[in-house]
Amino acid sequence: MTKGKVSSAVETLGDYLKEQRTTAQLSLRQLAEQAGVSNPYLSQIERGLRKPSAEVLQQIARALRISAEQLYIRAGIVSPDDGVGGSVELSVLNDPALTERQKQSLLDVYQSFLAMNGAGPTDPAPPVTDED
């Protein structure tokens, strides 16, 4: 059974990961071992068949000695226009007190609020007004 590509962001992520792995002179198996993920799973990420969680991206970034934020951007988790260090998404993703499920829930709620307010990831949210 052949699966389609998850998204163009993930395809770009896979290409980027493969390029970084090659530059670091690591085999797929070596990177998988260092990142603590399975070899087939890492291969699927590189081929754009799987979208990894923020936690897996952090593990891969650590193994490659690159910025996790760059991987979040490539995976489409964080917009490059958010400004590194100041985005809600990065704050949530980097909070060690939250579980992966809690992080994803918070990001989903945040994105739904932005959509409800008609604000895109780069648009400022409309001001809150008291309409009593």
Kindly report which listed range (3-12, 81-90, 109-118, 119-128) carries the lowest average pLDDT score.
119-128
In the block, which residue shows the tokens 């670091």?
Answer: 24
Of the two residues 104 and 127, the one the predictor is more confident about is: 104
CB atoms within 10 A of CB 117: 13
Q: What angle do CA 79, 26, 20 make, to 5 degrees?
A: 25
Same-domain check for residues 83 and 73 = no
pTM of the prediction? 0.61
pLDDT tens, position by position, 52-108: 988 899 899 999 998 888 888 888 877 766 554 457 887 887 788 888 788 888 888
Strand segments (E) across the chain: none
In the block, which residue shows the tokens 């945040």?
Answer: 110
Domain that holds residue 121: 79-132
Q: What are phi and psi of 95, to 5 degrees?
A: -80, 110
Radius of gyration of the chain (CA): 17
Same-domain check for residues 85 and 73 = no
Same-domain check for residues 73 and 90 = no
In the block, which residue shows the tokens 């934020």?
Answer: 69
Q: Give the pLDDT confidence score for residue 128 in this predicted structure.
A: 41
Between the two ends of the chain, the Cα-to-Cα distance in Å is: 57
Structural domain total, the chain: 2
Same-domain check for residues 8 and 69 = yes
Q: Give the pLDDT confidence score for residue 122 in this predicted structure.
A: 47
Q: Give the pLDDT confidence score for residue 71 in this predicted structure.
A: 85
- For 12, the token pair is 């770009």
Categorize the per-residue pLDDT at 126 as very low, low, confident or very high, splitting at 50, 70 and 90: very low
- Are the CB atoms for 21 and 64 separated by under 8 Å? yes
Provide the percentage of residues in the chain whose pLDDT is more than 70.
76
Same-domain check for residues 131 and 119 = yes
Same-domain check for residues 10 and 52 = yes
